[in-house]
Amino acid sequence: MVYKFRVILDAEEDVFRDIAILEDDTLEDLHNAIFNSFGFDGMEVASFYTCDETWNQEDEISLFDTGDIPGEQKIMSDYQLSDILDKENTKILYVYDFINMWTFLVELAAIEDQLAGNTYPETIFSHGEMPDEAMEKNFESDNADDYNDEFEDGLDEDDLDMFEGDDSFEDYGFEENWN
């Protein structure tokens, strides 16, 4: 079977590619197809992230093993597309180049029979031009205000007055250590 993906760049302008690839190809094969179809040189690190139906990021699947114990972490080449994606699980995130954070929404749009004579993977449709720079990301949590409340210490400026005029650190000879 052939998986047909729509790969959408997270950008202000509409930029996407439709890619057809075999279901038994790996996530690494999809990674190669994506960076080629968007004109990247493939020299940067990338990862896929499983996600839920509303694109909330879950587990990372990296290009290289970055774990503490070599071989313990599964990487892109360890997963066939059909291991991760099917009719119920159609979405995955892709991040290319962790300096610039090119981020893509990858959605399985169709599963079709393989056509004789076609070479896979292939870019079957291309829309939009790549911008010069990746869109700036805001990594603030939806519930960031909850964290402020949780760690509020209840101190204000008046509470810090108790340290004013306190030169007791001199009694311990700390100035000698700065010479």
Is pLDDT above 70 for 172? no
Is pLDDT above 90 for 158? no
Instruction: Give the global pTM.
Output: 0.74
Per-residue pLDDT reduced to its tens digit, 52-91: 999 999 999 999 888 788 878 899 999 999 999 999 999 9
Note the Cα 152 to chain centre separation in Å. 31
Q: How far is CA 33 from CA 12, 38, 40, 130, in A?
A: 23, 9, 10, 16
Query: What CA–CA distance (Å, rounded) separates 56 from 11?
Result: 17
Q: How far is CA 112 from CA 18, 80, 81, 156, in A?
A: 14, 17, 14, 64
Alpha helices in the chain (DSSP H): 27-37, 81-84, 144-150
Is pLDDT above 70 for 142? no
Query: What CA–CA distance (Å, rounded) separates 15 from 6?
Result: 10
What are the boundaries of each domain within the chain?
A: 2-127
Instruction: Domain 2-127: state its class.
Output: alpha beta
Inter-residue contact 30 to 81 (CB < 8 Å):
yes
Per-residue pLDDT reduced to its tens digit, 1-30: 999 999 999 988 899 999 999 999 999 999
Query: What CA–CA distance (Å, rounded) separates 23 from 40?
Result: 24
Q: How far is CA 149 from CA 38, 110, 114, 134, 154, in A?
A: 43, 45, 55, 33, 10
Residues 6 or more apart whose CB falls under 8 angstroms from that of 51 comprise: 57, 58, 91, 92, 93
4 phi and psi angles, rounded to 5 deg: -110, 120
Per-residue pLDDT reduced to its tens digit, 34-48: 999 999 998 999 999
